[in-house]
Amino acid sequence: MGVIFSQGTEIQKSGNSINMPGGIIQFVDNTSTTSTTVGTGAWVTMLSTSITVSKPGNQIMVEYLMNERSDQGNGTWCLIYHRILCNGTQVANSGHHGSAANHIGFYERTLVYTAPSAGTYTFEGQVLSYGGTAWIGSYNSGSTNHYLRLYEIGT
C-alpha cells in the first residue's frame, strides 16, 4: 500500500509520531458508566477529557454521547439541555430533549475545533435539567456507556 501526498505537503516528525495533514495524530477516550440525577438550575459536568495538541492549527475532532431519561420514572417530565465546553468556553449546545413523559434517549454530537496554538485543551460535556429531575448516564436509562472522545488531526 502506498501513501500519495500532494505537492507541498508538510510532514513533521514529533517524538515517535508523524504529523501529516488529515492524519489522526492521537486519540483520547473517556468512556464512562457514571450516572447521576440532575436538578433544575445548574450545569453539571458529566465528562471531562484533555488532549495536548502538538502543532498550532491542528484540529480536534470531538465525539460526545450521553444517555438520558427525563421523566423521573413517574411520568412527570422535564427538559434536558447539553453543552460542550473547551477550556471553559461553550463550543456546542443542544436544544431541549424530553418533551414528553417517559422520554428515554441520548444526545450525540460530533464537531471539529481548530486549536489556535499548541498546548492542552480540556473539553467538558455538561447537562442541565429544567422543570424537574433528570436521570443522566446509565442511571435507570437502560444504557451503560457514554463518552467524550478527542482526536488530534494534523493540518
Residue 58 lies in a domain: no
Residue 122 lies in a domain: yes
DSSP secondary structure string, 10-33? --EEETTEEE-TT-EEEEEEEEE-
pLDDT digits 0-9 by tens, 56-93:
999 999 999 988 877 666 666 788 889 999 999 999 99
Residue 12 lies in a domain: no
Domain count for the chain: 1
* Residue whose C-alpha is closest to residue 61's, from 145, 136, 155: 155
C-alpha cell at 12: 513533521
Residue 105 lies in a domain: yes
How many residues are there in the chain?
A: 155
Q: C-alpha distances in angstroms, 11 versus 24, 90, 154, 155?
A: 13, 32, 9, 10
Residue 151 lies in a domain: no
Residue 43 lies in a domain: yes
- Residue 11: HSE in the Cβ half-sphere, 13 Å Cα cutoff: 10
d(CA 47, CA 149): 10
d(CA 85, CA 2): 39
Instruction: Tell me the whole-structure pTM to 2 decimals.
Output: 0.80
Percent of the chain having pLDDT more than 90? Answer: 37
Q: E strands along 100-145, which residues?
A: 104-114, 119-130, 134-137
- For the chain, the average pLDDT equals 81
pLDDT digits 0-9 by tens, 102-116:
667 778 899 999 999
Residue 63 lies in a domain: no
Q: Residue 125 sits in which domain range?
A: 34-48+69-140
* Residue whose C-alpha is closest to residue 125's, from 155, 144, 141, 147: 147
DSSP secondary structure string, 86-105? ETTEEEEE---B--STT-EE
Residue 127 lies in a domain: yes
